[in-house]
Amino acid sequence: MAIQPIRLFGDPVLRTRAVEVVDFDRELRRLVEDLTETMRDAPGAGLAAPQIGVGLRVFTWFVDGEVGHLVNPVLDLSEETQDGPEGCLSLPDVVYDCRRALRAVAKGFDQHGEPIVVEGSELLARALQHETDHLDGIIFLDRLDTENRKAAMKQIRESDWFGAERPTVRISPHATGGLGL
């Protein structure tokens, strides 16, 4: 297990749709361990593989004392919504109210390829949606209303971390079938 650097807003991997996991092997289990350790160290409520530069459909979460992971998630969302503060480890100190479904049912697989279903409401539902968005190249800023999106972009442009270093494309330490960044 190793804590990995978290990619920041502006890195192209965050805007690229991740590919389905097809091999449930030792490398995938290592990726889940790295995601979990990196998320807990940050600390965060969730972390998707693209946030550490791996273009695979995998994420972890830590909500209400529960740590979990999901591979190749598919979401069913409630029509009832919630508004609440949302942030992202790839956008340090950027927090804005974001509308999400109040409840979510996520279907996918664990790191061994066994099917799992995760049901959550409020914060867990928000985390499941946020991390699945990352796997589709969507950042929570995309879900903000126009006024808040403009304010967030201004805050990002004025931050110390934005543009401090140019994103570099690195080879992933995890097997991605040649598709990872």
**Is residue 44 domain-resident?**
yes
**Is residue 178 domain-resident?**
no
Count the domains in the chain.
1
Cβ distance 111 to 33 under 8 Å?
A: no
Query: What is the C-alpha to C-alpha distance for residues 69 and 171, in angstroms, rounded to an integer?
Result: 23
**Is residue 167 domain-resident?**
no
Handedness of CA 155, 40, 136, 77 (dihedral sign): negative
**Is residue 99 domain-resident?**
yes
Range of the domain at 108: 12-158
pLDDT at 173: 53
Per the annotation, the verdict on 165 as an active-site residue is no
Catalytic residue among 27, 122, 131, 158: 131
Query: What is the C-alpha to C-alpha distance for residues 29 and 122, in angstroms, rounded to an integer?
Result: 28
**Is residue 93 domain-resident?**
yes
| Beta pairing partners, 63 | 66
Q: What is the pLDDT along the chain (181 residues), one digit of tens a residue?
A: 589 999 999 999 999 999 999 999 999 999 999 999 999 999 999 999 999 999 999 999 999 999 999 999 999 999 999 999 999 999 999 999 999 999 999 999 999 999 999 999 999 999 999 999 999 999 999 999 999 999 999 999 999 988 765 444 444 555 555 444 4
Write out the H or E segment, with its range, that includes residue 151. Answer: helix 146-158
CA distances from 92 to 9, 127, 159, 181 (A): 9, 17, 9, 22
Domain with residue 76: its CATH number is 3.90.45.10
**Is residue 125 domain-resident?**
yes
**Is residue 172 domain-resident?**
no
**Is residue 143 domain-resident?**
yes
User: pTM (2 decimals)?
Assistant: 0.87
